[in-house]
Chain A
Amino acid sequence: EAQVTQNPRYLITVTGKKLTVTCSQNMNHEYMSWYRQDPGLGLRQIYYSMNVEVTDKGDVPEGYKVSRKEKRNFPLILESPSPNQTSLYFCASSLARGKGTDTQYFGPGTRLTVL
């Protein structure tokens, strides 16, 4: 089954404790992206990757890191989480036949609470 998986689905942590949210896709998609969803703000793009070893900032990258060492994986790293990073996070993937062209398929979401 074609899918995007995220782990963990729920996470409660404390300020300053480094964490990683994993994202994996089995569709051989070149493009992967991370979003955060906050009430009243919709989805905002954090980082995206056009292919292996190619990443770029979205609209809200502060406090986050990413890496793309393999095509199928795109982990989101919070080196020192803060309460304002409490949010619902989505990973997405798509083909990258051209900029902005392709439909993104989303993972199930990770609900993160930083105390």
Chain B
Amino acid sequence: AQKVTQAQTEISVVEKEDVTLDCVYETRDTTYYLFWYKQPPSGELVFLIRRNSFDEQNEISGRYSWNFQKSTSSFNFTITASQVVDSAVYFCALSGSGTYKYIFGTGTRLKVLA
């Protein structure tokens, strides 16, 4: 069975602090795909990144970076120098190559205080 765990329900940081959102997954598939989505207070779901299981390189996009470690089944997301506009709920998701199903974590609510 596939599972995604986001143990941090809510995180509060002060603007300009760095923050890491954790994502731990379980799957029996050898090929799988991991995703991060952002849900701002307006409610829409915004795609941030997709990573396949064969690519363990870390990725950086501006203030965002992702650390994928197969050894610990983790796909963590770091925001550097956080801003108030980063306040949102962030979801990690998993899909295996053997299925058309997508499994989402329960989300982490990030509050960035000015």
Contacts and interface: CB of A to CB of B under 8 A. Distances in A.
Interface of A: 31, 33, 35, 40-45, 48, 50, 56, 58-59, 88, 90, 92, 96, 98-101, 103-106, 108-109
B55 interface: no
A42 B91 contact: yes
Given A42-B107, A43-B91, A45-B102, A100 B47 contact: no
B95 interface: yes
Interface of B: 6, 9, 32-33, 35, 37, 43-45, 47, 50, 52, 91, 93, 95-107
A103 B50 CA distance: 7
B104 A44 contact: yes
A1 B91 CA distance: 25
Nearest to B95: A100
Given A48-B100, A100-B100, 18 more contacts: A44-B104, A45-B102, A48-B101, A58-B101, A59-B103, A92-B45, A96-B100, A99-B97, A100-B33, A100-B101, A101-B33, A101-B95, A103-B35, A104-B35, A104-B47, A104-B102, A105-B47, A106-B44
